[in-house]
Chain A
Amino acid sequence: DQQVKQNSPSLSVQEGRISILNCDYTNSMFDYFLWYKKYPAEGPTFLISISSIKDKNEDGRFTVFLNKSAKHLSLHIVPSQPGDSAVYFCAVCRTDSWGKFQFGAGTQVVVTP
């Protein structure tokens, strides 16, 4: 039962432009949401998170938006840089069972010069 879906397996974007990654979840009980970035041969690296009491969180070039009614979150990267080329995973969890993260299948981002 796939409770977290990233429907775009890949995304190609020009350097300097905006990258928008999307993630949908099915269970309204999830109340904490995260984005991880993964390079080949490395483990996922935490990028940014948001709790369900907010609808936006910003950290430098990265902004996460949460639409609870649509059960949808997105990650905006502005401006995109070549070093951003990686696989991006969204993850969700319930704070009453902290640490039991459920991940989407990931989106491969390629930033071209």
Chain B
Amino acid sequence: DAGVTQSPTHLIKTRGQQVTLRCSPKSGHDTVSWYQQALGQGPQFIFQYYEEEERQRGNFPDRFSGHQFPNYSSELNVNALLLGDSALYLCASSSQYYEQYFGPGTRLTVT
């Protein structure tokens, strides 16, 4: 079992650009959550997807959007990138009311 996988590992973008990050959940998991972890901080909840719909959302602007596919994989899209969007983006998968398993993250740098 490969666990939760994320791509790419690292990404450098310019302010104003758009970015898409990808996540494949652990086998058997149907729920995907996305978190943003700034340097020196804990992960902050962005949103959660279940049955291809956004089920919950944290305090992030509409520039952050997502999608879940029928195979449960997920994408996180960020539009109009700001310097403050530079962070580690973590994807976590779970099966309903069980603990979340995290991927290694995508390090996004906005210049």
Contact = CB atoms under 8 A, between A and B. Distances in A.
Interface in A3-56: 4, 6, 34, 36, 41-46, 49
B1 interface: no
> Counting chain B CB atoms within 10 Å of each CB, which of A4, A101, A105 scores highest?
A101
Interface residues of A, number: 24
Contacts, number: 57
Contacts of A46: 99-101
A89 B104 contact: no
Interface residues of B, number: 26
Contact of B97 (A98, A102, A105): A98
Interface in B40-95: 40-45, 48, 55-56, 58, 90, 92, 94
Interface of A: 4, 6, 34, 36, 41-46, 49, 89, 91, 95, 97-106
7 contacts: A4-B42, A43-B101, A44-B90, A46-B99, A46-B100, A99-B94, A105-B40
